[in-house]
Structure 1
């Protein structure tokens, strides 16, 4: 550690009474809460002794979540751009606390939910008397629906998932999630730990205000603060989301152009409101809530002393059944109309040159790869998933795994510079895959380049050529993600006996 940033020195005692973490989850009014806290940070400190620390250019403490994450979790790592690491961040936080002398410190980031086990690092820096973790919980079907829409709308996340169930998320077993938070924050009796779950009620009561609810948690009156917007990060309608997903899957758009397209869709919706409120099937909602029923019952019984509230009401079921009576042709027509409206917008605004056709799609961009994905596969909610990973790619060979739930005999293809050089099937046992996904399938593969057959167009390349490697799921043409690197043709030739221009099957 750089001694300049030694955190144990003269700032050892800071007398912080409470350290409060606000840890999401996403799409529960987090942006509105963070905007409120950021805009009112001076008054919060002056009148209530609550410090909302330096956010380093954000309106939240994403940087702290990055600092406590595992190596290489974020790529690119925004800490590198700032030129600081955890030690420097901790030092600066201590300086800020020492100078301003708050009673309480409040850190807010949805990304904390992904790095619960790292929160203790921040606790150890500040050494408060009380630690509170505030988490907003949303009924799981609505959380998945909203998360899916947000992923489509996000220009920084290049996914266009097949359906709602493939949404990238942690497990939505909230009972276990809260238990994990508590278990990760075990200290001696000098620090008291309090887990504070709150329910996101806006799905059922449009007058419910996340900021007002959060102010109740802090025991402060919202009315004395600067006005705020109740809903900041509003979702697009379901048909606009699907139209945008088709654009995203078909074209690579620069972030600035993508944001213009999203803004156009919001304006289009104001002028042409949709009657379609959801495209998530009722039966899918029932499966999700059925999957979490037992854990939800424990959650509400132990934390709220009431019956499970995360259930479908009769009114909701009637609404969703009415929605499902709409003809698929009518829904498809609305999606196609919006898709064409986006193209028209691009043409009229001379943005055609920004439309770069997408030529490669990875399995995780369509099928997802998250803790929630694995959980749903393991418990039978997802039955048509395709995924895998290339673990090794070097001059000796290539190895990894591929799982196709619909086709246990799926082929994969290895390409060099876009040319097929090998086709085969996974045939090696991978105990980790069997355990993670609850399947009894040999999903592993390991190929020596000696087994590949290089065609003439590869053999005729200069020896100093670097070859791009891809492993393809043969049936769909999607690329398996992984640890790829470009390989030297000369190094490969040392491993391969040139053979006839044909595929080994």
Structure 2
């Protein structure tokens, strides 16, 4: 850890993600355990007038809006009316705790946008230097092929840009932070030195195979027994559902209708049994992308299983591994939704039916 040479007597644990590495579970648990945390000399701050009080996304959004060209991120409009970082500073100064924990996977994206007014990570470092002697930047990183698959799934699940691209093409457009972990680490170390700690997000490397338990162990916190109830949140959709949603994006629709489609697909989860086979996710992506991952892992060995992705060799394979008969439950569900008296539900049914028809036509 990097020790700052000023006598403020406090340390900061800055949990920056990555997305899809148990972050929601960690944040929900820390929020649930706030009082016990306080008794053990930890502060997990509450941000007022923000969309998510269990996490600290608004802090990261505020930093990014300062430095990124024209960016304005939803989810913290109320916080724009106040100095959110100033209020946090006052809260920290007034609290007698020894350790402050901040958590947002949006911190992971600092300095990867269209920067215009400097570095958000440097801004964060300046703020931290005013309050803390010791700073640990902590991230859990999934092996690149697994992470990229999960993040592409998240993009389609939430209807971000309503892309119709196949997964390999979506991956090609992702920021470097999703693949070049060596470069990501270098960005943070320039500001926080050896306080940057990246851990592999894989069961064999986590305490009791659980990210929440591991996080508590790393920061030295003795959690309540409720820790066992905070496993896996924000589950992704199946690979077949990913393909259905991607094809549904061919047709204009709003976010409400999209959410109904996602819920319906999660209810039936009609994935072909072959999707459960241990297909190496690296095989879904082009060789140029795999090589990019190997180069990064050669520069910075985080401890992944198969870091050189030796098992991901050969031509890319189809993503969802679905068969025509796998579309039958989707079609049945779509017809059921189309019969609803609620307009958005009926619209979701029609959208799913249209996606099925496109997929049948392109088998």
Q: TM-score range by the shorter chain?
A: 0.7 to 0.9
Looking at CA atoms only, which structure, 1 or 2, has the larger radius of gyration?
1
Task: Give the TM-score of the pair, scaled to structure 1.
Answer: 0.56
1:175 counterpart = 2:182:
yes
1:275 counterpart = 2:274:
yes
SS at match of 1:132: strand
* Alpha-carbon distance, 1:260 to partner: 2.6
Flag the 1:62–1:16 CA change in 2: closer, same or farther, 3 A: farther
Equivalent residue, structure 1, for 2:237: 236
Structure 2 contact 45–88 (Cα < 8 Å) conserved? no
User: How many angstroms apart in 2 are the aligned matches of 1:152 and 1:131?
Assistant: 35
Flag the 1:254–1:50 CA change in 2: closer, same or farther, 3 A: closer
* Alpha-carbon distance, 1:129 to partner: 0.5
Q: 1:26 aligns with which of 7, 19, 35?
A: 19
Structure 2 contact 55–104 (Cα < 8 Å) conserved? yes
* Alpha-carbon distance, 1:16 to partner: 4.9
CA displacement 1:14-48 (0-9 Å, x = unmatched) = 93521221111111111111111121122112223
SS at match of 1:260: helix
Flag the 1:108–1:283 CA change in 2: closer, same or farther, 3 A: closer
User: How many angstroms apart in 2 are the aligned matches of 1:149 and 1:203?
Assistant: 24
* Alpha-carbon distance, 1:122 to partner: 3.5
SS at match of 1:231: coil
1:333 counterpart = 2:318:
no
Structure 1 contact 17–104 (Cα < 8 Å) conserved? yes
CA displacement 1:186-231 (0-9 Å, x = unmatched) = xxxxxx7501001010499997211111112112234545543311
CA displacement 1:301-358 (0-9 Å, x = unmatched) = xxx5x697424476x88xx99x9699x9x82415643552452243133345663999
User: How many angstroms apart in 2 are the aligned matches of 1:291 and 1:71?
Assistant: 26
SS at match of 2:12: strand
Q: 2:334 aligns with which of 327, 330, 343?
A: 343
Deviates more, 1:132-141 or 1:207-216: 207-216
Flag the 1:158–1:184 CA change in 2: closer, same or farther, 3 A: farther
- 1:373-452 aligned at under 5 Å gives the runs none
SS at match of 1:144: helix
Equivalent residue, structure 2, for 1:221: 222
- Normalized per residue, the structure richer in helix is 2
Q: 1:101 aligns with which of 96, 102, 109?
A: 96
User: How many angstroms apart in 2 are the aligned matches of 1:352 and 1:299?
Assistant: 52
1:266 counterpart = 2:263:
no
User: How many angstroms apart in 2 are the aligned matches of 1:349 and 1:176?
Assistant: 50
CA displacement 1:389-415 (0-9 Å, x = unmatched) = xxxxxxxxxxxxxxxxxxxxxxxxxxx
- 1:9-20 aligned at under 5 Å gives the runs 15-20=8-13
SS at match of 2:249: helix
CA displacement 1:418-442 (0-9 Å, x = unmatched) = xxxxxxxxxxxxxxxxxxxxxxxxx
User: How many angstroms apart in 1 are the aligned matches of 2:161 and 2:203?
Assistant: 26
User: How many angstroms apart in 2 are the aligned matches of 1:101 and 1:57?
Assistant: 27
Structure 2 contact 338–347 (Cα < 8 Å) conserved? no
Equivalent residue, structure 2, for 1:245: 246
Q: 1:52 aligns with which of 45, 49, 59?
A: 45
5+ residue gaps, structure 1: 1-12, 186-191, 359-505
User: How many angstroms apart in 2 are the aligned matches of 1:246 and 1:233?
Assistant: 22
SS at match of 2:198: strand
Structure 1 contact 16–129 (Cα < 8 Å) conserved? yes
Flag the 1:73–1:220 CA change in 2: closer, same or farther, 3 A: farther
1:62 counterpart = 2:57:
yes
Q: 2:31 aligns with which of 14, 32, 38?
A: 38
Flag the 1:325–1:295 CA change in 2: closer, same or farther, 3 A: closer
SS at match of 2:162: coil
Structure 2 contact 143–304 (Cα < 8 Å) conserved? no
Task: Give the TM-score of the pair, scaled to structure 2.
Answer: 0.76
* Alpha-carbon distance, 1:163 to partner: 2.6
1:119 counterpart = 2:84:
no
Structure 1 contact 160–248 (Cα < 8 Å) conserved? yes
User: How many angstroms apart in 2 are the aligned matches of 1:251 and 1:279?
Assistant: 33
SS at match of 2:40: helix
Structure 1 contact 240–338 (Cα < 8 Å) conserved? no
5+ residue gaps, structure 2: 1-5, 112-118, 352-363
User: How many angstroms apart in 1 are the aligned matches of 2:296 and 2:160?
Assistant: 33
SS at match of 1:105: strand
User: How many angstroms apart in 1 are the aligned matches of 2:151 and 2:332?
Assistant: 25
User: How many angstroms apart in 2 are the aligned matches of 1:194 and 1:204?
Assistant: 20
- Normalized per residue, the structure richer in strand is 1
User: How many angstroms apart in 1 are the aligned matches of 2:227 and 2:295?
Assistant: 41
